[in-house]
Amino acid sequence: MTVAALPEVPASADDLSVWPASTTRLPHGGLAVGGVSLPEIAERFDTPAYVLDESEVRERCRTYRDAFPDAEVLYAAKAFLSRAMVRWVQEEGLGLDVCSAGELELAVTAGFPPERIVLHGNAKSPRDIATALRLGVGRIVIDSPSEIARIAAAVGPHGHQKVMVRVVPGVSAGGHDKIRTGTDGQKFGLSLTDGGAQHAVSRILGQPQLELTGLHCHIGSQITDVESYLVALRRMVGLLARIRDTHGIVLPELDMGGGHGIAYRPGEPALDLTLLARQLRIELIGSCTTVGLTVPRLFIEPGRAIAGPAGVALYRVLAVQHTGEKVFVAVDGGMSDNPRPALYGVRYAPRLVGRHSTAGSRKATVVGRHCEAGDILAADVDLPGDIHPGDLLAVPVAGAYQLSMASGYNMVGRPPVIAVHEGAARMLVRRETLDDFRRRDIGD
């Protein structure tokens, strides 16, 4: 249903800065995204549910294409993937970065050209590798020494596969220790400092069926400063120069990964994409000029920055409990559909939608329905003092790493994904039901 917007109110009183650009206010405290009322979506599709704004996804893809016109922009599928998402990304001119045979199969069967897909991951299974070769994936990123022989053997003596090497450049960046991947001492990649990356390059060059096209690095996630990327880029260019000097080859590609930080709550910092694009280009040209290298084609892999701000999670309040001075607001979802707060302390800004409250705000902690003390969706957030069972809460910036990380804990079932676009809502991914759990359980 298409809805009309109300006049804007000052951001200081009602900040929608982290919501999709299409978000508008409705009478009686409601919100609409993509021209569709969130309370109406909750009534039609039930809760919990994820709402994904197609226009926001597409506009963010275009923003990346405009910021990096000479680069290969790959959408990181692990943030969120569905057949519709595959189509949107393809139509907006992006490639794909996948981490498993499952993501790869879904993308290719949805019509995405496999030559525009990059497969990586720190522990690729035989199925991952076999699927990549069968479908003709564009590049495989080698993450460990053992993968060199495994991939070469799977390709066979008369086959051919383009590969890259994931390098650990020794740069610490990211919003939490658990998502910092650019330093030594963690599971990803081959170290620049101990010579592991250089040794891997030498071994790959000795495998004629493997074509080394370039280097890959990913320094972390939820990064909001540009300087970390520039430091990593300088070190990667230095390695490209050493490869040229040692082996007499100039690798034509350099993948700087993703991890571009976004704001989850009003006032939080986000990575300046325009600044990143400009500074990366300046640094890449300058560093290559200094060492006498031809400038390689740049790859980047945004995921969260495209899907995250396009999503909104909807929950129904089940209970409100006052324990001393603390208020717990329990909803019909939780860590089964969003484990990120429990995993690494992500903070969200939930909002009451569907009715207007004149009550003053007070601090409350939004918790899930699961049998875990750590099942907390949003700690110490401002909510109306009269919040009660039956109320509808909406959580913005819910498009990335929520449904993709969801589980079957307590057999609650994963929520559906509802796309909104130009006043219409349609289901992209249906709700997981008890029948789904029954069908998987084939024992006596």
> Given its phi and psi angles, is residue 220 left (phi above 0), alpha (psi -120 to 50 degrees) or beta?
left
**Rounded CA gap, 43 and 61, in Å?**
31
Pairing mode of beta strands 72-76, 117-119? unpaired
Burial class (CB in 10 A: 0-12, 13-18, 19+), 428: middle
Q: Please, is 379 exposed, middle or buried when counting C-beta atoms within 10 Å of its C-beta (0-12, 13-18, 19+)? A: middle
Q: What percent of the chain shows pLDDT beyond 90? A: 85
Annotate 211-259 with DSSP letters as a single string: EEEEEE---BSSB--SHHHHHHHHHHHHHHHHHHHHHS----EEE----
Q: Per residue in 203-212, pLDDT tens?
A: 999 999 999 9
> What is the CA 77 to chain-centroid distance, rounded?
7
pTM of the full predicted structure? 0.92
Angle between helices 145-155 and 126-135 (to 10 degrees): 50
What's the Cα-to-Cα distance from 251 to each of 33, 76, 195, rounded to whole Å?
A: 45, 23, 18
- Separation of alpha carbons 418 and 24, rounded Å: 18
At residue 422, does pLDDT exceed 70?
yes
The β-bridge partners of 52 are 311, 419
Locate 55 and state its tokens: 């226009």
pLDDT at position 173 is 54
Give just the sign of the alpha carbon dihedral 210, 213, 214, 220. Answer: negative
pLDDT digits (tens, 9 = 90+) for 253-295: 999 999 999 999 999 999 999 999 999 999 999 999 999 999 9
Domains for the chain: give ranges and CATH numbers. Answer: 24-53+309-440 (2.40.37.10), 68-302 (3.20.20.10)
CA 163, 78, 302, 183 torsion-angle sign: negative
**288 included as an active-site residue:** no
Nearest to 330 by CA among 296, 372, 278: 372
How confident is the model over 176-192, as pLDDT tens digits?
444 444 454 555 679 88
Of 61, 99, 288, 371, which residue is the catalytic one?
A: 371
User: pLDDT confidence of 358, banded at 50, 70, 90?
Assistant: very high
Can you tell me which residue has the tokens 């003053």? Answer: 360
Query: What pLDDT shows up at residue 325?
Result: 87
**Phi/psi of residue 429, nearest 5 degrees:** -130, 125
Name the residue among 299, 289, 182 with its Cα closest to residue 241.
289
| Tokens at 269, concatenated | 């910092």
- The structure tokens 């001393």 sit at 324
> What is the distance between the alpha carbons of residues 366 and 319, in angstroms, rounded to a whole number?
10
Report pLDDT for 28: 85
pLDDT value of residue 8: 37
